[in-house]
Chain A
Amino acid sequence: MIVFEHVGKRYGGRSEALADINFRVGRGEMLFLTGHSGAGKSSLLRLIMRLEKPSRGRVLVAGHDLDRFHLSQIPYYRRQIGVVFQDHQLLFDRSVFANVALPLEIQGVEPRESARRVRAALDKVGLLYRETALPIELSSGERQRIGIARAVVNKPSLLLADEPTGNLDPQLSTDIMRLFEDFNRIGTTVMVASHDLALITRLRHRVLRLREGRLVGDEEAT
């Protein structure tokens, strides 16, 4: 599903944020991406989303070389990926419901069908009762869960999550991971960037370990 071949990423003239990254992720796999702060986890995910282009090497997703995409194809490519952003990326002038409905609105899903899916997604993150609230009225953890609901509402074939449990208590973190595992069970490829080592070791999925932009470990699921 995801292939990195000698991928390097350099921002401006600075030292490399990522250097010579090589790995493959199969369809339907679930894995963690870990490393200290600044190791390049978000950068790696941004490459997969085609928010950045690699300075070196190739990134392939579902058989497509991301470098070859025409600018007009990128939106359609992104629609197939559900992303939980490290900084939520919610719209603060819209209700929780409208925020979660956004990917469906962009794809032109019929409103009644859209409402049904939005409520299902909100229900999964346990926030159905807040659907009319504005994001500003929510706690940080609740906002994160809205971001998760928005990422899964479209039932994407690839789910990327950047620190999805950063602001959640252990119980909620476990619940969210369960949710991701549920999605994985029905075929979604899931990649989670996190430095919650306790959680990662407990869940026993494959782990990619980054240090200062280099891939220093690739531990198979146990």
Chain B
Amino acid sequence: MTRRTTSPESQRPARRGARASQVGLESRTRAWLRHHRAMWLDSAQRLAKRPLSSLLTMLAIAIALVLPSGLWLALDSARLLDAELDESATVTVYLDTRLDERAAMDVAARLRDQAPVAGARLVTAAEGLAEFQQGVGLEDALASLEDNPLPAAVVVTPADTDPDSVRVLASNLEAVDGVDEARVDLAWLERLRRLAELGQRLALALAGLFGLGVLLVVGNTIRLAVESRRQEIEVVTLIGATHAFVRRPFLYSGAWYGLGGGVLAIVLLVLGGHWLSAPVTALAESYGAHFTLPRLGLKGSVLLCFCSTLLGWLGAWLAVGRHLADIKPR
């Protein structure tokens, strides 16, 4: 700056205001980054200084996150199960009892050639009887029969497992020569699908609701922090701090709370998974199915942490915006 000692009126002012705008973009960016780094650390230190209350806030966030993400995981595994069930969605086509084995094979071949059929397996009358005997344990009673009362059947696997198209396929198959009846049992499959859909909606609603809960928890915590630093906010505003400058430490606090909550939620999910896995596997095995509880995995964990951090940040942003307006000396 210029050092002059002329009379006051003629003196040029030391124009520091202009200096601020002359500072290059680069150094301003550096200052901005420096403040971000400082606030990132500072907010973490403030949280660490009061570990118990920070932990409680994070735990509240974690609990709000566990329910929807747990349900989401369960649905994900249900979807896996669903895919397995799709494969078992078959049409059983009973052939005319008068057909002999040769004719039955012909019909099976014709059925296999139908358009939306993925596969067709012939179960001859004799095989059917053998299966039936094994399954029902009526060997002696059936052995006393002279004729085999069972028709030959073809188990058709549809290419498209959508319930409606399966039904259409069944009626088409019934029209084929030599076919007596085509039977589909879809009701339970449909019921399961409906349930999964319900679960999905429930998970979405819960995610929305508990997401709001996270916003409220963070918002309230940040509101208290703003209140406790009221004097500091007033002072820095008096000497030219921008809104962004004032808001920054609180946004980082919110993000830290969110991240901590996300990590705790993952821990809770892993613990819960361990706790439930033995009974769930046992239950599945009792139905003859092989099923293990799904894991969140790296991708899921990162996603969960990202979402919770974002929620924390957003909660802080909302709270600070609301409460700064009250404090401003403007």
Contact = CB atoms under 8 A, between A and B. Distances in A.
B2 interface: yes
A29 to B, nearest CB: 5
A90 B258 CA distance: 32
Interface residues of A, number: 46
B238 A30 contact: no
A103 B240 contact: yes
B269 to A, nearest CB: 39
Interface of A: 1, 26-30, 49-51, 62, 71-72, 74-80, 83, 85, 89-93, 102-103, 105-111, 150, 154-157, 184-189
Nearest to A205: B8
Nearest to A188: B14
Interface of B: 1-5, 8-17, 20, 27-28, 30-32, 34-35, 231-232, 234-243, 245, 329-330
B20 A29 contact: no
A87 B34 CA distance: 31
A184 B243 CA distance: 31
B238 A51 contact: yes
Interface centre among B11, B30, B234 (most CB of A within 10 A): B11
Contact of B35 (A83, A108, A186, A188): A108
B240 A1 contact: no
B240 A78 contact: yes
A155 B17 contact: no
7 contacts: A71-B330, A75-B242, A76-B240, A80-B17, A105-B35, A108-B28, A110-B31
A76 B14 contact: no
Contacts of A90: 235
B16 A1 contact: no
A186 B231 contact: no
A93 B1 CA distance: 34
A151 to B, nearest CB: 9
B239 A184 contact: no
B238 A186 contact: no
B5 to A, nearest CB: 5
A85 to B, nearest CB: 7
A111 B35 CA distance: 11
A216 B245 CA distance: 41
A108 B31 contact: yes
Given A83-B239, A106-B236, A106-B239, A157 B15 contact: yes
Contacts of B329: 51
Contacts of A80: 16-17, 20
A157 B240 CA distance: 14
Given A157-B13, A157-B15, A186-B14, A83 B235 contact: no
B2 A91 contact: no
B37 to A, nearest CB: 11
B5 A185 contact: yes
Contacts of B17: 62, 76-77, 79-80, 157
A79 B18 CA distance: 11
Contacts of B31: 107-110
A110 B239 contact: no
Interface centre among B3, B30, B235 (most CB of A within 10 A): B235
A83 B238 contact: yes
Contacts of A26: 8-9
B242 A107 contact: no
Given A28-B8, A75-B241, A85-B238, 6 more contacts: A28-B13, A78-B238, A79-B17, A91-B231, A106-B236, A184-B8
B9 A27 contact: yes
Nearest to B32: A108
Contact of B16 (A28, A106, A155): A155
A89 B3 contact: no
Nearest to B35: A108
A72 B242 contact: yes
